[in-house]
Amino acid sequence: MDFYTKYNELSGESVRLEPIDESHIEGLFEAGKTQSDWEYLPIPGFSNIDEVKAWYHQAKKLLEAGMHYTYVLIEPDTNEVIGSSRYMNFRARDLAVEIGYTWVGSKFQRTSVNTEAKLLLLSNAFEGMNANRVELKTDARNIRSQNAIERVGGIKEGVLRNHMVAQGGFVRDTVMYSVIKSEWPGVKENLIGKLSNYA
């Protein structure tokens, strides 16, 4: 199975992940207006529809180049756009991939959405792509994201100093996490257990 062929719709109870499409633009705009949801991402959210279109076209170019595989998170009952996440930084020889550039609109934070989205993405990576390693990383200032990654089951590996230039030209440190193949069964069981607590 080719490492890149598992970019397909992923469905759960509280969230559906759809490969990004032009039809998502309006929903992404509505979900992505709150700047605080994007505080530690490369851009500060969407202030107008043209910014969404530019973000969409950039995601499509990265998809065509085989660099980023962007999903839009959808609420299954209402088809409302919730946020976005993507596979990126593929290393096909090593069967490694990163899950990143994740944001969830304020309305759906502290719900089961992020937990189930990570379960779907990790399942697809380990069971569909046969990954050896899935990486997750975040801004060292973003304690909420670090807690969320650790709650998912990511193991902290260290800090990359002066790793990236963030919004406003801030030179950020990046905290690196991973889940590896041997850990996946336990991580999966833990995530399924967490989801049952939301039921």
How far apart are the C-alpha atoms of 71 and 20, rounded to whole Å? 5
pLDDT at 42: 82
pLDDT at 39: 85
pLDDT at 58: 96
Q: What global pTM score does this model have? A: 0.94
Q: What is the mean pLDDT of each run of 10 residues along the chain (199 residues)?
A: 74 97 96 87 89 96 94 97 96 95 89 94 95 97 94 96 92 97 98 87
Distances (CA, A) of 25 to 20, 31, 81, 84, 196: 9, 10, 9, 12, 32
Report yes or no: 9 and 76 within 8 Å, Cβ to Cβ.
Answer: no
Tokens of 175: 């905290």
